[in-house]
Amino acid sequence: MEIAILGYGRMGKEIAEIAEERGHEVSVVIDSSDDWMENIDKIRDCDVAIDFSTPDVVVDNIFKCFNINVPIVVGTTGWYDQLESVVHDCCQREQSLFVASNFSIGVNILFSINKKLAEIMNNHPEYDVSINETHHIHKLDAPSGTAISLAQGIIENLETKEEWVLNECESVSELPIYSTREGEVPGIHEVKYDSLVDTIVIKHNAKSRKGFALGAVIAAEFLANKKGYYTMEDLLKA
């Protein structure tokens, strides 16, 4: 496949390396609005775009790809308040969009365990739940998209929680997410159920960015020649 990479930071460079290892060609790299203007014809000829840009430009990147009929895989987070309208536009225009808060296979296994554990904990109100996430200092959004996905999995399955909040909560119906930014940490996510007598923890600790990059490239391979909106659940089922 010919791939366009939108956003050429740490993840963009990792994705380019993995894509080439898997026999694909990175035909164009976009890292600014000027890059779009200069390379629009090259992007138009690509089989798929992979976006790991920034929250302030990602939605614009998505619509630019829609306008030239290029499928796009999005790993950028911090824009999900617009997700519903973007997905609606994708389906209305018969475009191709793959969105994931985390492309790691291990994290997506964690998502499944998290939902099941939340369902079980409905029978154990003596435990209260919280989420902790730690990332490198370059990450722009907090909490992480992965932490939000974990929170949504809990809220959907644990009757006592209605919404998540960043850091300290004021009501038992709120689920706190604690975010830390330090060093070059690729990503640590922990769900903790705490009681007076013990603590239950499920945790994912990413050792490098390679797992995320590989998942993004696999998602691009999956999305090629498809129309519609897809997530990691669709990929894992396939």
User: Measured between alpha carbons, how far is residue 96 from residues 48, 63, 191, 218 in Å?
Assistant: 9, 11, 33, 15
Catalytic residue (choose from 24, 64, 135, 161):
135
Q: Are 175 and 165 in contact (CB under 8 A)?
A: yes
Catalytic residue (choose from 115, 139, 192, 227):
139
| DSSP helix, strand, coil percent of the chain (3-state; round to 5) | 40, 25, 35
What CA dihedral angle connects 109, 110, 115 and 119, to 10 degrees? 110
Concerning whether 42 is annotated as a catalytic residue, the answer is no
Report phi then psi at 109, rounded to 5.
-65, -40
Concerning whether 135 is annotated as a catalytic residue, the answer is yes
Beta-carbon contacts of 9 under 8 Å, excluding residues fewer than 6 positions away, are 52, 138
Beta-bridged to residue 51, according to DSSP, are 6, 74
State the Cα–Cα distance between residues 127 and 157, nearest whole angstrom.
Answer: 15
Q: Are 202 and 190 in contact (CB under 8 A)?
A: yes
Q: Which DSSP state fits 224?
A: T
Q: Are 50 and 33 in contact (CB under 8 A)?
A: no
Number of H helices, E strands in the chain: 8, 11
- Annotated catalytic residues are 135, 139
